[in-house]
Chains A and B, each alone.
Chain A
Amino acid sequence: MEAVAPIVKFTSLQKRYGGGPLILDGIDLAVRPGDFVTFIGPSGCGKSTVLKLVSGLSPGTTGEVTVLGTSPKLSRDRQAFIFQDATLLPWLTAQRNVELPLRLRGLRADKRTGKAKQMLALVGLGGEGGYYPRQLSGGMKMRVSIARALTLAPQLLLLDEPFGALDEMTRNRLNEELLDLRAQSPFTALFVTHSVAEAVFLSNRIIVMAAHPGRFHAEVRVDFPYPREAGLRARPEFQVRVNEVSRLLHEVEAPGRP
């Protein structure tokens, strides 16, 4: 595996904000092309910070982060970020929101429209392009956000608890759709969540993190082949993985309990 250049590589990374406490300590990680890596752990374990380091929104304190063979900032045109809430611009229609990354790249209006329509259709919102975000449900907003992130066909997709605010049924649907989209245009994914079932369903690697300071506690490999269907969730071996991750989470959460 060492022959393939990693998509993301952390080398003994530390992170602290200003003179504050250590947020992340001793982070070493190599993400291979096609990996779907999920970071899970108690609040304060710095899992969102990991994504900020990869996107260059926040610099590392010591150690090194390499993304797509270069620095986080220089690789931004091949990355996309999906935030906790959909972060759609409320004054733009769904269609214009999806066009935004193309617009920021300087594409002419006539070239943007077609691509954005195609992306909206891909997330099942072909007829909703004219709606403003406040007219859309939470799940629909997140679909628009996904469409927007994928318009530029990124090699690396960063997702920071994107489905955390949605109800379980919508969340499951969107999990399945996300994997479908990935089958159509492959990307490597770094995913942050609080949901163990979601982590197991989506990822091939789950990194369980501990807090104070944030560090990697254990890694769980999930070797169910892609494409994964909704029925996977009902299988006993799925439950085994869920239990394993839950046990590891309990290990890191219990010592901190008063």
Chain B
Amino acid sequence: MERLSVMKKLPPLLVWGLPVASGVLFVALWYGVRAVSGLQSWILPTPLEILQAAWREHTRLLAAAGHTAVGALGGFTLAAALGFVTSLVLGVSRSLRAGLYPWLLVLQMTPVIVLTPVIMLWAGPGLPGIITITWLISYFPIVANMTQGLLSSDMNHVALFRMANASRLQEMLLLRVPSAMPYYLAGLRIAATLAPIGAIFGEYMAGNASGGTGGLGFLVYSYNTQIKIPALFATALTSCLLGFMFVAAVSWLNWLVLHKWHDSFERNDH
């Protein structure tokens, strides 16, 4: 099959070379701004100073990243599981969908920061509260995508199942759920970018509220009050790496589930 021209792959050299080139340009710009503005290190540290801070603080950063990963993974897993189940409920019946979906939107529209004190009060500070916040942030994209997927089955496939006198349960499990997998995974991918942010935010709030320990969010709070700005940037860098690991894990899951059959992995090998 002929590929669309927009889908044409760049030569491998450019695929790696272009991001590196723009990265180098960005770092050069950074040094330029620093030199021209005359800003001091504790206001705008150079990339090198950030790396030095990261090295100096690496035990604390790694331990904190470990804490955050636990919270993020907990909230993400909860969101993935509950999101799946919620979507099934919404996908089963039009009236349930009509009755519940607006309230899910309301939940999504409510800023998490408003709910945080209540969550900390109910779930307790520390990991339970952090997991709850992470769940709250990453839940909706999963539900929205998966529900859309369940409703997007090919009409001829549905007709095929109807013709075979398939039960509603069979139609759901053998047709709608598998055909919704690409949507579910797209939802997970968005959730994977949100989960570490949710956990760090939760830690920031929980740390603030309870004087709790551990977690990148707490480090943000701690470095900020100590005006350790290079270390703060190093924390940002660590958070970014953690986020990448989450996205990479979901990409791997995506490959695992879809590569055999889905068009997004077409190899033209037959």
List A residues at the B interface (Cβ < 8 Å): 55, 57, 76-77, 79-81, 83-85, 87, 89-92, 100-101, 103-105, 131-136
Pick the contact of A135: B157, B262, B269 (CB < 8 A).
B269
Q: A57-B162, A104-B161 are in contact. Are A83 and B156 (CB under 8 A)?
A: yes
The reply to whether B178 and A91 form a contact with Cβ atoms under 8 Å apart is: yes
| Majority secondary structure of chain B interface residues (helix, strand, loop or mixed) | helix
CB contacts under 8 Å to A, within B157-214, are 157, 159-166, 170, 174-175, 178-179, 181
Q: Which residues of B contact A104 (CB under 8 A)?
A: 161, 164-166, 170, 174
Question: How close is A105's CB to chain B, nearest CB, in angstroms?
Answer: 8
Question: How close is A8's CB to chain B, nearest CB, in angstroms?
Answer: 15
Q: Which residues of B contact A80 (CB under 8 A)?
A: 163
The reply to whether B166 and A81 form a contact with Cβ atoms under 8 Å apart is: no
Q: A77-B165, A87-B154, A104-B165 are in contact. Are A132 and B159 (CB under 8 A)?
A: no
Give the distance in Å from the alpha carbon of A79 to the alpha carbon of B159 in the complex: 13
Give the distance in Å from the alpha carbon of A101 to the alpha carbon of B170 in the complex: 11
- B261 sits at the interface (CB 8 A): yes
Question: How close is B120's CB to chain A, nearest CB, in angstroms?
Answer: 43
The reply to whether A131 and B270 form a contact with Cβ atoms under 8 Å apart is: yes
Q: Which residues of A contact B270 (CB under 8 A)?
A: 131, 135-136
The reply to whether B262 and A90 form a contact with Cβ atoms under 8 Å apart is: yes
4 closest cross-chain pairs (CB), A and B: A135-B270, A87-B156, A104-B164, A91-B261
Q: A87-B156, A134-B261, A135-B270 are in contact. Are A57 and B163 (CB under 8 A)?
A: yes
- B: number of interface residues (CB 8 Å): 24
Pick the contact of A91: B162, B164, B165, B179 (CB < 8 A).
B179
- B2 sits at the interface (CB 8 A): no
Q: Which residues of A contact B166 (CB under 8 A)?
A: 104
Q: Can you name 10 A-B pairs with beta carbons within 8 Å?
A: A76-B164, A77-B165, A81-B160, A83-B160, A89-B179, A90-B261, A91-B179, A92-B261, A105-B164, A134-B266
Q: Which residues of A contact B260 (CB under 8 A)?
A: 91, 132
Q: Told that A91-B262, A104-B161, A132-B261 touch, could you supply 10 new A-B pairs with CB distance under 8 A?
A: A57-B159, A57-B163, A79-B163, A83-B160, A87-B154, A87-B156, A100-B164, A104-B166, A105-B164, A133-B261
Q: Which residues of A contact B159 (CB under 8 A)?
A: 57, 81, 83
Question: How close is A222's CB to chain B, nearest CB, in angstroms?
Answer: 28
Residue in A closest to B166 when the chains form the complex, CB atoms = A104
Q: Which residues of B contact A89 (CB under 8 A)?
A: 157, 175, 178-179
Question: How close is B161's CB to chain A, nearest CB, in angstroms?
Answer: 7
Residue in B closest to A135 when the chains form the complex, CB atoms = B270
Question: How close is A142's CB to chain B, nearest CB, in angstroms?
Answer: 14
Q: Which residues of B contact A55 (CB under 8 A)?
A: 163
Q: Which residues of B contact A135 (CB under 8 A)?
A: 269-270
Residue in B closest to A137 when the chains form the complex, CB atoms = B270
Residue among A77, A103, A104, A133 facing the most chain B CB atoms (10 A cut-off): A104
Q: A101-B164, A132-B260 are in contact. Are A85 and B175 (CB under 8 A)?
A: no
The reply to whether B174 and A81 form a contact with Cβ atoms under 8 Å apart is: no
Give the distance in Å from the alpha carbon of A104 to the alpha carbon of B166 in the complex: 6
Give the distance in Å from the alpha carbon of A104 to the alpha carbon of B165 in the complex: 8
Question: How close is B168's CB to chain A, nearest CB, in angstroms?
Answer: 12
Residue in A closest to B263 when the chains form the complex, CB atoms = A134
Q: A131-B270, A133-B261 are in contact. Are A91 and B156 (CB under 8 A)?
A: no
CB contacts under 8 Å to A, within B24-73, are none
Q: A104-B174, A131-B270 are in contact. Are A87 and B163 (CB under 8 A)?
A: no
Give the distance in Å from the alpha carbon of A133 to the alpha carbon of B159 in the complex: 19
Residue among B161, B162, B163, B175 facing the most chain A CB atoms (10 A cut-off): B163
Give the distance in Å from the alpha carbon of A90 to the alpha carbon of B154 in the complex: 11
Q: Which residues of B contact A100 (CB under 8 A)?
A: 164, 174
Q: Which residues of A contact B179 (CB under 8 A)?
A: 89, 91
Give the distance in Å from the alpha carbon of A227 to the alpha carbon of B263 in the complex: 40
Give the distance in Å from the alpha carbon of A84 to the alpha carbon of B162 in the complex: 17
Give the distance in Å from the alpha carbon of A134 to the alpha carbon of B265 in the complex: 10
The 0/1 profile, CB within 8 Å of A marked 1, for residues 247-270 of chain B is 000000000000011110010011
Question: How close is A55's CB to chain B, nearest CB, in angstroms?
Answer: 6
